[in-house]
Amino acid sequence: MASCRTLILLLLGLAGCAQTSQPVEPGAGAGHIVDPSAHVPDFARKPYEPFSREDAVAIALREWRLWGQPVDDDPPDTRPPPLPEDKPERMPGLWQRVGEYWWLGQDAERRESAWTGKHDEYGLEFPASHDGQYPWSAAFISYVMRIAGAGARFPYSPSHATYINAARANNGWVVSAHPINTYAPKLGDLICASRGRKRIRFEDLPTGFPGHCEIIVATAPGVISAVSGNVDDAVTLTHIPVTADGRLGTVSNQPIDTRYPWFVVLEVLYDR
């Protein structure tokens, strides 16, 4: 009997150890540790393939096609704003897609990861007039980088300034910052502008500011094509004029494109 009782206690002890070794789910309590990429599919988290320029461009173009391939080459704020019920980001099938950009583009447990094109982190629908408080252009870029396989080498964030500043620091991230007059962006690179009243210069980095970045998906003599999120409340393509050698800025560092205050190019250091 003693040996049986001892065996039973031993088995119970092992069962208890097995239970406590299980991973802790997000939200399980204070002090728990969560893998910031635990919610990411294995093919992107491991990743299955090297982080590639070709994949990043293909993902961005896939999303653009999903949204109906809109093109906007007009100066900003010159188009009349759509009616709330006409905003693509709030339409069936598309507000959920924005939610996927937030969910996969942000690290686990960020409150923004629960946002959608029309819901806050509590699942409550916010008015269309408040969508400026939920800008998702940085979530879109983060999504493209994550799904393309950047892994832990990209500083995922709801703010463009986070990875622009990280690229400027050039301390091991997979992005490196260049002035617009010294580097011609290639396919899969990011070009960035400031959105605030104050113009940001490359020399001002690192600093906090509202920004916007786009991913280059095509190049041609005198023009590049870029895709970005949250332009016209959709994933939109823009054509941007460049110099003969493909740069955004002149020798004096003035943007060729007078519509946007481009000030930095982020070279993405793909594996291939």
Residues 115-140 pLDDT 10s: 999 999 999 999 999 999 999 999 99
Q: Which two tokens stand for residue 143?
A: 């999504």
Supply angle C-alpha 116, 227, 223, rounded to 5: 165
Model confidence band, residue 256 (pLDDT cutoffs 50, 70, 90) = very high
* Average pLDDT of the chain to the nearest whole number: 89
Closest by CA to 245, choosing from 193, 180, 188, 190, is 180
**Cis? peptide before 47, omega within 30° of 0:** yes
Q: Which of 79-83, 182-186, 250-254 has the highest mean pLDDT?
A: 182-186
| Whether residue 15 has pLDDT greater than 60 | no
Strand, helix or coil for residue 240: strand
Q: Are 248 and 261 in contact, with CB atoms under 8 Å apart?
A: no
pLDDT at 81: 86
| Whether residue 12 has pLDDT greater than 60 | no
Separation CA 87–CA 43 (nearest Å): 32
Q: Are 56 and 270 in contact, with CB atoms under 8 Å apart?
A: yes
The helix or strand, by DSSP H or E, that contains position 105, with its residue range, turns out to be helix 95-105
Mean pLDDT to the nearest integer, 143-170: 97
pLDDT at 33: 58
Place of tokens 């970005």: 228
| Whether residue 42 has pLDDT greater than 90 | yes
Which whole-number Å values give the CA distances from 10 to 1, 15, 19, 200, 261, in the listed order? 14, 9, 14, 66, 69
Q: Look up residue 30 and give its amino acid.
A: A
pLDDT at 32: 56
| Whether residue 154 has pLDDT greater than 70 | yes
Q: Does the pTM of the predicted model rise above 0.85?
A: yes
